[in-house]
Amino acid sequence: MRVVNKFFSGLIVSLLVLITGCANIVTPSGGDKDTTPPKILELVPENQSLNFSSKSFVISFDEFVQLNDISSQLIVSPPLKSLPEFVVKGKHVVVKFNGALLPNTTYTMNFGSAIRDINENNPLEGFTYVFSTGSFIDSLSLRGTVRNALTFENEKEVLVLLYEENSDSIPFLKLPYYYAKTDGSGNFTLDNLKSGKFKVVALKDENSSFLYDDFDKEKIGFVDTLVSPYFIEKAKETKADSLISDSIPVAKSDSLPKEKGMKKSGEKSLPLFIFKEEKNKQYFKKAYSEYYGKLVFIFNKKPGKLVLNTLNTSFKKEWNIQEQSVTGDTVILWLSDVEMDSLKLEISDNETVLDTVELALKKRSDKIEIQGGSAKGAKKTTPFKLLTEQSKAASTHNAAKDFYITFNHPVKDYVLESIVLKEDSVPVQFVLDSKDPALRKYLIRYKWKEEKKYELFIPPATVTDIFDLKNDSIKITFTTQAKSYFGNVQFTVIAKTEKYILQLTDDKNNIVFEKPATGNDKFSVEGLDPKSYGLRLVIDENNNGKWDTGNYLQKRQAEKIILYPQKVNVRSNWDVEVEWEVK
């Protein structure tokens, strides 16, 4: 990536600052804080026991301990039908099994960070108890990483599930034979696996069921082929450190794939990419009256051709204005003239009836409750008034971009002659325009100039909404930034792939620029805010101009994303040239 300065001018000013201070008197502390986690003194039966037939085991520590969030921290593989019972007795933890164990099976019990000392809450991280109900300990492993298929971000707390059967319906119906959970970096580790081939599925389990059964919320990923675990020759640990005997027999692995040393395990790292499926079947989820004149309808995905038929009344004129959310799965219905207690509707999409719903309508009031507040789902009380959604405080604006004003209700009428736009205190002519079907968003059409101060003034009673509410005095001030504040990027992409989409993203993975292309191509993006951006290619396999998610049952992975290996740093008044050879 090469950066070219367009012009440079300025003054270099040197300042010398003398910093003075006085000594602080500190009260002596009572000694260093204890940061040492509990140490295991004894395990009965011992770790990696063979022919395990006990109904319980006991962990003894060097200090008093407690268990924190054991139900979510504990990972038992293969899964048990019910969670064991845990009894803490001072410096001892007794684990009692509630049911029979499988014969000739190696079990691993990872306690996560559940075991902590009493005084300082120091966790014993990742302690694992291993035992076999047979004559040997299974010794094979799998390593890998789970990422988001679209953003490529590492995904934490994702279940990686292994199944012995290769049935497509397994993740919907049956618990896995082995499982692990990804750490904060998206990495997972599965140890003490038996020889064989396994179906591997990654699941962002939203309801702790270990099943793919919440299709609206859960993400899934899968490996296209069956996977065989392999042998990793681990560094030898002392019994004092691990309480694992050196003489424990393991499964014979002479004919199994083997890698020597943990440092090479990354070569066999298994990549998994999770995605949320796009549901083919449309269905209606819920509806409610938020306040007078505003109804909210929520669907599982964006409706194609939504029709709402009234069943308990008829109207002589158009009675509603529809507005879709950004994601499209939520539809707001603004009622222009409905004075009744309830409204019964038949909801159809693409000529298919989805549901029938009857809503109790909110009465008109000077105060309304709307969604808001810091807590999720919280509401706040506000006056029932016509307002703008822009901040009235001074702000900045890119002169090369359009300026919009958005009202909180659909607008029925306005007096254009009363609205005043000033440029450096001088009134200027402008055009007010709107292509918003919901009649809330209006474009102030004007040729904005650099480094100017603007004031938009809307006097009281200039704008009238569909509820016949009129605005109070509105004043919005902003300044336009100099063209030199922004930066430009020129991309040269050398790609063998036939169809792709170039996307530039901000720090929240929002797309700020995208363009479909084929093969080698050049792109130019101007007027970017000075900050860091991500750059990626979407391999557009079906040539529909957008990224497509995957489908588990159709065995279709999400469309591949290729990331540019570094951030694109845009600086004010600079041209950045990026040459990317995609391999």
- Mean pLDDT by runs of 10 across the 583 residues of the chain is 46 33 43 86 96 96 95 90 92 95 95 93 93 96 96 94 94 93 94 95 94 92 95 63 42 37 52 91 91 94 90 83 90 86 92 93 88 67 90 76 94 96 97 94 96 96 96 95 94 87 93 90 92 94 92 95 94 94 87
Q: Domain map of the chain by residue range?
A: 40-132, 140-274, 284-368, 395-481, 486-582
Residue 369 confidence (pLDDT): 84
CATH assignment of 486-582, given 1.10.260.30, 3.40.47.10, 1.10.1060.10, 2.60.40.10? 2.60.40.10
- Contact criterion met (CB below 8 Å) for 132 and 160: no
Just give the CATH number of 284-368. 2.60.40
Q: What span, in angstroms and rounded, lies between the C-alpha atoms of 405 and 419?
A: 12
Angle (nearest 5°) at CA 259 between 255 and 265: 135
* pTM as predicted: 0.75
The CATH number of the domain covering residues in 140-274:
2.60.40
Q: How far apart are the first and last CA of the chain?
A: 17
Could you say which architecture CATH assigns to the domain 395-481?
Sandwich (2.60)
Burial per residue of 138-177, b for 16 or more beta-carbon CB atoms within 10 angstroms, e otherwise: bbbbbbbbbbbbbeeebbeebbbbbbeeeeeebbeeebbb
pLDDT at position 518: 85
pLDDT of residue 10: 40
Q: Are 284-368 and 395-481 equal in CATH topology?
A: yes
Is residue 555 packed enough to be buried (19+ CB in 10 Å), middle (13-18) or exposed (0-12)? exposed
In the block, residue with structure tokens 């409905």: 338
Query: What tokens appear for 82 in the block?
Result: 């019910």
530 cis-preceded (ω within 30 degrees of 0): no
- Sign for the CA dihedral angle at 25, 29, 32, 37 comes to negative
Q: Which residues contact 518 (CB under 8 A, 6 or more apart)?
A: 498, 499, 500
DSSP assignment of 160-205: EEEESS--TTHHHH---SEEEE--TTSEEEEEEEPSS-BEEEEEE-
CATH number of 40-132: 2.60.40.1220
